[in-house]
A and B are shown apart, each in its own frame.
Chain A
Amino acid sequence: MIKSAQLDSDARRGLSQISLPLAFSVLLLAAPLAILLAMSFWTQDFLTLDRTFTLANFKETWTSPIYRTLMLRSLKISIIVTVLTVGLAYPAAYYMSFVAPNNRKAMLVFLITIPFWTSYLMRIFLWKVILGFNGVVNGSLIGLGFIDTPLDWISYNQFAVIITLSHAWLPFAVLPIFVVMEKVNRSYLEAAQDLGDTPFQRFRRITLPLSMPGVVAATLIVFIPTIGDYVTPKLVGGPDGLMIANMIEIQFKNANNAPLGAALALSALLLVSSVAGIFVWLNRRYLKAEGAA
């Protein structure tokens, strides 16, 4: 108590500024997480919650093949989506930052945000129309005479989930990479050129390492939410496109088994954080090797 009275005015101002967001996140993030954690050690029989401590839910989550399959499938879909979006976003961001004239940049950023003008749900339904049996893709291919019968491997499966998610998350990947590239000091590039680097060497030794923080941010921004996405697989996934979040929803809702749902949710959280952690660690090693960090 005495100590807090001795805080200087800067510290006091800092505390008062952080206290509201802190209370907010404790209330809306930490408390639900704590409830989830507690619940995952309980069991539910039909409508009654049994509060005896047990690890049975985690055992079931990690041993039963159905949950393992769904976890691995979500991981696979999410990794493919991340690689696709970041792979496509990087050249776009590169163009915006290094190639486009300065007076066009604001315009390009504005154009990138256009997909956000349509609700995500609408965009999912549009993909349903585009990939559908009599949809735009099949209609065009038939009209051009490439195929006779509509392709049915393009809708209601994992492929459709990957396409829809990649399209939705692309803008989120472009922006962080672009912002970081804008901060790359252009005189380094000139110096490299003066010292005899070819354009490719220059890119590999300067632009790429210096834009890596943007790539990391983009990867995490895409990877973490997509692995837990549930509306996309529900609407375009069909039977083999279901992901772990759909199973979590089912446990809480239809199956009346909130404890198992909590254990699944926490396990998915663990999986996401470990994969993200490994990725950040690998990136740090790469940057160290390049001497950029």
Chain B
Amino acid sequence: MLRTMKRTTTAIAVAAMPTLAAAQELIVLDWSGFEDPGFIGAYIKEHGGPPNYSFFGEEEEAFQKLRAGFEVDVAHPCSQSVSKWQLAGLIEPLDTSRIDRWDDVNEVKEAFVIDGDYYMLPTDWGTTSLVYRTDLVNASKMDSLQAFLDPEFAGRVSLPNNVDDVYALGLLATGVIDWSDVTQEQFEAASAWLRQAHPNVVTYWADNAELAQLMTTGEVSLAWAWNETPTTLIGEGIPVAINREAAEGSSSWFCGYVNVVDGPNSEDLMYDFLNAWMEPATTDYIVDAWGYGSGNQTQMASLGSEVLDSVGLGEVSAPVLVQGPLDNQMREQMIVEFEKIKAGF
């Protein structure tokens, strides 16, 4: 009975599917918004359509979903999650010989080597920095991250609801530029700084759309934001400016694709998908349309500094805290502490 039912449903499903069935099979667990076909033009061309997507709003959600047994072929975490996911047995190494442009892949790939194996293909990156409304705040005060503590901006500040970006800010503001060997004292100093900034915060933004709206209305005049937000706002004619050269510096982050253990579909499809991400056309698209950087560093370099500066991805003279892999215990501590800070403790 069950078998007949299964067979019937499969038959119906197959009949209902267009001839491009193969393209529908690969399952990608991704950030919402990353289903943009511009990122994987080569894959769509070859397979006739995009893969299946399942979305998450934050990495921890994706992590719990995978731990609970959700089956996907490939997922899109950011740098801090790779070792955690690997420890939890959720991901397996990538076969780098099957990634055609492996030599062009950004050097950051070396940060995701565990026991000699590469675990993540870095595909997209951006910066997090001080962003403000030029008509609402005095630009001369915007050369230091201490502006977030200024009582003048009480109720006008928004920080990310994202532990990595927030601690990048806290650490930078307290003088730490490299978090790979952050000490307990440095962590506590950063937490104390964030606690001090908390009363100024009207809300912790969850995504680009929310922050863009808050800054458009002027409710928020000062934010710690991804470069995507000012890039889109400037495009809409909103008077915002981005300062990646505040005295204490700014931050950068990297995300990429990982090979999920026991993916239900063929790995050939996965490598086609990964290779599509490394296409030069994808690099041009992601920089132009999203204001993000791509993991293909050869193509990024060929774009020239003028283009990169205009979207907030160029070289800066101020310090940059790279959100590389972080000790798992330290990160767990940050997560718990950030929740306390957000609740006002």
Q: Which residues in A have some Cβ–Cβ distance to B below 8 Å?
A: 46-47, 65-66, 69-70, 132-134, 150, 152, 155-156, 238-240, 242, 247, 250, 252-257
**Which A residues lie within 8 Å of B345 (CB)?**
65-66, 69
- In the complex, per-residue mask of B179-207: 1 if CB is within 8 Å of any chain A CB, else 0: 00000000000000000001001111000
The answer to whether B339 and A247 touch across the interface, beta carbons within 8 angstroms, is: yes
Listed by A's residue number, 18 A-B pairs whose Cβ atoms lie within 8 Å are A46-B328, A46-B332, A47-B87, A66-B345, A69-B345, A132-B219, A134-B219, A152-B219, A156-B203, A239-B198, A239-B204, A239-B342, A239-B343, A247-B343, A253-B61, A253-B64, A254-B58, A254-B339
The answer to whether B203 and A238 touch across the interface, beta carbons within 8 angstroms, is: yes
Q: Is the interface of B mostly helix, strand, loop or mixed?
A: helix
- CB contact between A242 and one of B87, B198, B217, B343 (< 8 Å): that residue: B343
**Which B residues lie within 8 Å of A47 (CB)?**
84, 87-88
**Which B residues lie within 8 Å of A255 (CB)?**
332, 335-336, 339
B4 within 8 A of A: no
The answer to whether A134 and B344 touch across the interface, beta carbons within 8 angstroms, is: no
- In the complex, per-residue mask of B213-227: 1 if CB is within 8 Å of any chain A CB, else 0: 010011100000000
- In the complex, per-residue mask of B31-72: 1 if CB is within 8 Å of any chain A CB, else 0: 000000000000000000000000000101100100000000
Q: Whole-angstrom distance between the alpha carbons of A68 and B53 in the complex? A: 40
**Which A residues lie within 8 Å of B332 (CB)?**
46, 255-256
Closest to A47 in B: B88
The answer to whether A134 and B88 touch across the interface, beta carbons within 8 angstroms, is: no
The answer to whether A239 and B203 touch across the interface, beta carbons within 8 angstroms, is: yes
B319 within 8 A of A: no
B163 within 8 A of A: yes
The answer to whether A254 and B328 touch across the interface, beta carbons within 8 angstroms, is: no
Q: Whole-angstrom distance between the alpha carbons of A10 and B219 in the complex? A: 67
The answer to whether B339 and A152 touch across the interface, beta carbons within 8 angstroms, is: no
**Which A residues lie within 8 Å of B214 (CB)?**
133
Q: Given that A69-B343, A253-B61, A254-B335 are known contacts, is A133 also in contact with B217, CB under 8 Å in the complex?
A: yes
Q: Whole-angstrom distance between the alpha carbons of A240 and B203 in the complex? A: 9
Closest to B65 in A: A253
**Which A residues lie within 8 Å of B336 (CB)?**
255, 257
**Which B residues lie within 8 Å of A247 (CB)?**
339, 343
Closest to B59 in A: A254
Q: Whole-angstrom distance between the alpha carbons of A4 and B181 in the complex? A: 70
Rounded to whole Å, the gap between the CB of B74 and the closest CB of chain A is: 22
B155 within 8 A of A: yes
**Which A residues lie within 8 Å of B64 (CB)?**
252-253
**Which A residues lie within 8 Å of B342 (CB)?**
239, 242
**Which A residues lie within 8 Å of B344 (CB)?**
69, 239-240
The answer to whether B155 and A46 touch across the interface, beta carbons within 8 angstroms, is: no
Closest to B156 in A: A152
Complex A-B, nearest 10 residue pairs according to Cβ-Cβ distance, in ascending order: A133-B219, A134-B217, A133-B217, A254-B60, A238-B203, A66-B345, A156-B203, A253-B60, A254-B335, A250-B339
**Which B residues lie within 8 Å of A156 (CB)?**
202-203
B329 within 8 A of A: yes
B141 within 8 A of A: no
Rounded to whole Å, the gap between the CB of B217 and the closest CB of chain A is: 4
Rounded to whole Å, the gap between the CB of A132 and the closest CB of chain B is: 6
Q: Whole-angstrom distance between the alpha carbons of A65 and B88 in the complex? A: 32
Closest to A134 in B: B217
Q: Whole-angstrom distance between the alpha carbons of A288 and B84 in the complex? A: 61
- CB contact between A134 and one of B203, B218, B328 (< 8 Å): that residue: B218
**Which B residues lie within 8 Å of A69 (CB)?**
343-345
Closest to B198 in A: A239
